[in-house]
Amino acid sequence: MMTALAAAKAYASTQKSLGVETGAGASPAAAAAGGGFGDILKATMSDAISASRHAETQMAAQVQGKAELVDVVTAISAAEASLETVMAVRDQVISAYKEILQMPI
């Protein structure tokens, strides 16, 4: 199961790969130019979909005898890890939304 720490690390690595500056040196203008949470979420979802498609392709190739079993297992593991990351982020967003709903007005 994916922990909150693992989800945070995955989120940070996604930000680094997209070139979003984090930390005290990040300015609002730089954040706007680099994209926001929605853009990062879209990129992560497209990466998860891409990993799943690659795993499916590798499985089909292995059935046809064109791929090694190690490549199939690696592709499936990558797809599983990206899916777990997406599910962990989803769970955190839902939890934050519920917490916001419970705040007094």
Mean pLDDT for each consecutive 10-residue tract of the chain (105 residues)? 65 68 50 70 89 95 94 94 90 92 89
Residue 57 in tokens = 């392709």
pLDDT score, position 67: 93
Residues 11, 89 contacting (CB under 8 angstroms): yes
What's the token pair of residue 105? 């007005």
Rg of the Cα atoms in the chain? 17
Cα–Cα distance for residue pair 28/82, rounded to 1 Å: 29
Q: Which pLDDT belongs to residue 21?
A: 57
Tell me how far apart the 2 most distant CA atoms of the chain are, in Å.
62
pLDDT of residue 77: 94
Report the pLDDT value the prediction gives residue 29, as an integer from 0 to 100.
47
